[in-house]
Amino acid sequence: MSHERLLETEKHWLTSKGKAFLSERVVMHGKDLHRDLGDSEWLHLYVFALLGRDPGRNVAKLLNAIWVSTGYPDASIWPNHVTALASTVRSTASLSLMAGMSVSEASIYGRRPEVRVLDFYYRAGEFCDSGGKLADFIDSEKAKGRTLFGFGRPLANTDERIPFMLSKAKEYGLDGGRYLKMAFDVHAYLYEKFGFSMNVAAIHAALAADIGLTTKEYQLFMSPCFIAGMVPCYQEVSERPEGSFFPVRCANVVYEGPAKRRWDD
């Protein structure tokens, strides 16, 4: 990037997304926030802000169901644990919640696997469109050592969120898409060949693909989705004595290394 490009935005910012004209109006994607969008439900507005267009009532409701399905108020799981740890040392609400959100981009749960499932579906679709078979694509992915996210679940063999999401997809008339069918075809193949179960990431991503979200849009949409479960965890821990969330005695720390070690090595 040359300095000329920097000078172009030194004192102003050209945008097609939105602008706050203070004391007058606020524009988002060409709509007046208060006049045109003021009656929107918050999640619907969030999706409009993300996509730059109205996704429609049923799509917005289905996406809302994805967030609802992940609002687990359990301080022992997921990023909730980090939020609770921040709360027990009396961090602020904002910092505690953001700490939880930041670790939701993990390698085995949350944002990264979700995006990889969506990418898998799109690449599988292209492979099949070119005349290939889905089973061959799955075998190729496994041969390359790639994890098939969405299939298999740590600590459990079934996923209680799947029936909920399928019922909502049916309710909103969004249960007949190509990628949702693909999700079950992949599951059937993997279950028969390897005994893999399905987790809700496979369903969420399939529905997102049928809606037409890009991987980047999907990541941005999913980023805050755990926060409803984090809030009660933060509250409960903050109401208890400081440092009382899952304390660990020194005697309970299992160490199997050298009896003595030089810390300056």
Per-residue pLDDT at 156: 66
Let me know whether 206 and 117 are in one domain: yes
Apex 48 CA angle, 204 and 159, nearest 5? 15
Q: What is the residue range of 163's domain?
A: 111-221
Does residue 234 belong to any structural domain of this protein?
Answer: no
Task: Name residues whose C-beta falls within 8 Å of residue 37's C-beta, 6 or more positions apart in sequence.
Answer: 28, 31, 45, 48
Does residue 188 belong to any structural domain of this protein?
Answer: yes
Task: Name residues whose C-beta falls within 8 Å of residue 182's C-beta, 6 or more positions apart in sequence.
Answer: 121, 124, 125, 134, 206
Per-residue pLDDT at 3: 81
Does residue 93 belong to any structural domain of this protein?
Answer: no
Does residue 207 belong to any structural domain of this protein?
Answer: yes
| pLDDT tens for the chain, residues 1 to 265 | 578 888 888 888 889 999 999 999 999 999 999 999 999 999 999 999 999 999 999 999 999 999 999 999 999 998 999 999 999 999 999 999 999 999 999 888 889 999 999 999 999 999 999 999 999 999 999 999 999 999 977 666 789 999 999 999 999 999 999 999 999 999 999 999 998 999 999 999 999 999 999 999 999 999 999 999 999 999 999 999 999 999 999 999 998 888 877 777 6
Does residue 61 belong to any structural domain of this protein?
Answer: no
Does residue 212 belong to any structural domain of this protein?
Answer: yes
Does residue 77 belong to any structural domain of this protein?
Answer: no
Per-residue pLDDT at 155: 60
Query: Most distant CA pair in the chain: distance in Å?
Result: 70
Q: What is the three-class DSSP state of 19?
A: strand
Bridge partners of 180? Answer: none
Per-residue pLDDT at 235: 98
Per-residue pLDDT at 133: 98
Does residue 178 belong to any structural domain of this protein?
Answer: yes
Per-residue pLDDT at 1: 57
The total of structural domains in the chain comes to 2
Instruction: Give the amino acid at 93.
Output: A
Let me know whether 141 and 210 are in one domain: yes
